[in-house]
Copies of this chain bind each other. A is one copy, B any other.
Amino acid sequence: MNAVSIKEVARLAGVSTATVSRCVNNPEKVTEKTRVKVQQAIRTTGYSPNTLAQSFRRGRTNMIMVVLPSVGDPFFSRVMRGIRKAAKAKGYSIVIEETQLNTMTADEIGAMLVSKQMDGMLLLASLSPFGTEILSTHSQRRLPIVVGCETVAPELAEFSSVHIDNVAAAIEATQFLLDKGHSRVGMITGQAASLLTKDRELGYRKAIDDAGIEVQQGWIVNGELSIDGARSAMRALLDQRPAPTAVFCANDEMAIGALHEAKLAGLLVPDDLSIIGFDDMRYAEVSDPPLTTIGQPAEAIGERAIYRLCSEIENGRPASSQNEILPHQLVVRQSVAAPRS
Residues of A within 8 A of B (CB): 1-3, 46, 48-53, 55-56, 59, 61, 68, 70-78, 80-81, 84, 95-98, 100, 103, 111, 114-117, 137, 141-143, 227, 231, 256-257, 259-260, 263, 282-283, 285-288
Q: Are A256 and B286 in contact (CB under 8 A)?
A: yes
Closest Cβ–Cβ distance, residue A140 to chain B (whole Å): 9
Distance in angstroms between the alpha carbons of A283 and B116 in the assembled complex = 36
A143 to chain B, nearest CB (A): 7
For this complex, 13 residue pairs linking A to B, each with C-beta atoms less than 8 Å apart, are A48-B115, A50-B56, A50-B117, A51-B117, A53-B56, A70-B77, A71-B80, A72-B73, A74-B74, A227-B282, A260-B285, A260-B288, A263-B288
Cross-chain contact A115 with B51 (CB below 8 angstroms)? yes
A101 to chain B, nearest CB (A): 10
Docked-complex contact A52 and B48, CB < 8 angstroms? no
- Complex Cα distance A75/B73, Å? 9
Further pairs besides A71-B96, A72-B73, A72-B75: 19, Cβ < 8 Å: A1-B142, A3-B141, A48-B115, A50-B56, A50-B117, A52-B52, A56-B56, A71-B76, A71-B80, A72-B72, A74-B74, A80-B98, A81-B100, A84-B98, A84-B100, A96-B98, A231-B286, A256-B283, A260-B286
Which residues of B have CB within 8 Å of A115? 3, 48-51
Cα distance A341–B76 in the bound complex, in angstroms: 45
